[in-house]
Each structure stands twice: as C-alpha cells, then as structure tokens.
Amino acid sequence: MKKETKYATFIFEKSDEDLIEILVEHINTFANVAFNFFEVNVPNYKVKIHIIPTKAKYDEFYKKMYNKKQVKDWMIGNYNPEQRTITYLSLHDFKNTAHKDILKNQAEALKHYKQTIFHEFVHYVNDIFVKEHNCSETEKFLEEGIATYLSGQYENKKPCLTASIEDLLDREKSPYADYFLITKYLIENYSKDYILQIIQSNRKSRELLKNELYEKAKNNLLLK
C-alpha cells in the first residue's frame, strides 16, 4: 500500500495501516522543527518511508542495503541518503527486538515509536543540509545527537556522561544517550550560526569536542 503526504511517501502493508495515520500526523506536526533547525527549505522531492512488517524482513533489507552479515537486535530504523529512504520496523513486531519491554505500556510504546521515526526524519533533513552546503557527512556524535535532541529522545535519561571522547568519535560505537547529552549542551549554550558552521566541518566539530565541549558538558552535568 502507499500513502502520499506533504513530506513523505509511505509504503506499507495492510497489517500496518493502523500505524500510518499516527506516523503521518507526528511528522506533519514536527517536520518544521527539523527544517527550521537546519535552516533549509522543504525540497521538491519527498522522502520514502518504508514500513517493514517484521524484524526478520527488516534485517534482510538492512543486510542487503549495507552489505552487512548481522543486524543488532536494537536496530529498528535507518535512513539511506543515496536512496532517500527511511526503513522502519512495524511497531507490531517490536516483540522480536530489544525494545520489546516498551510494549507493556501502550502509550509509552507509541511515544517511542513516533520519536524514533522523527529521529530518522531528522537524518533526512540533515542530509538535505549536507547536500546544500556541499560538505562531508556530519560527524556521528553530532548527527545522532541532533536527531535524538530534536526528536525528544533520552529526555528522561539520567544526566551522566559515561562515554569517552574516543567513544564519541568512534563511528563503530553507538552511545546514543551520550550523543544526546553532549548535543543538548551544545544547542543550549552555543549560537545557532556557530552550530551550523561546525556541522559543515568534521575537523572543527572534532576539535570543539576535544578542546572544550566534552569537558564543559561533563562539568555542567556534575552540577546537576
């Protein structure tokens, strides 16, 4: 099945028809948060959002897309910039993921589900920014940090920075809660113009993290 909206083209199976209006409403409500943050206009093309009915099928898609042999059990969504496609697992099969415990509370499960799809939508808008400014892929700690911050994820996370600078700069690692805490401090304490400038330069963003951002964010958290 297919549904066209202002910002996206949803592709899904009938078994997930009940989820689509929830996702459409959430993206339509918050899309401008992402576009305004990156200061880019809505493009004349739409992102494709493919809802995958089962974790097994999602893993197959992911392995084929990125030539991977294994997919971690917590992975439920991703954005592919080359294909301009968000691939997202149906909430109906979260029982087969590391997120299965959230199903005990339907309200929390839906909140998590909406936040995660918007996280991936932020990656899509981030990619528009990268292409408009002809810069390299955003440093991972910033890319994921901005996505978690704008989507509202990890707001209830205990304010404790546990990852090292090396962990934050290692693209093979995924300390998402720490990405959030670092980026939250950055967004709330630095000017918007400066943030958009460092997003365009991996060298500058790494230098900022090493020279001041990490220590400032860590010390700020210790005071709470």
List the pLDDT tens digit at each of the 224 positions of the chain: 999 999 999 999 999 999 999 999 999 999 999 999 999 999 999 999 999 999 999 999 999 999 999 999 999 999 999 999 999 999 999 999 999 999 999 999 999 999 999 999 999 999 999 999 999 999 999 999 999 999 999 987 777 899 999 999 999 999 999 999 999 999 999 999 999 999 999 999 999 999 999 999 999 887 76
Q: Are 101 and 188 part of one and the same domain? A: no
Q: Are 127 and 156 part of one and the same domain? A: no
* 8 Å CB contact between 27 and 20: no
Containing structural domain, residue 150? 136-224
Q: Are 167 and 223 part of one and the same domain? A: yes
Q: Are 129 and 150 part of one and the same domain? A: no
Q: Are 97 and 156 part of one and the same domain? A: no
Cα(209)–Cα(36) distance, integer angstroms: 24
Q: How many CB atoms lie within 10 A of CB 129?
A: 19
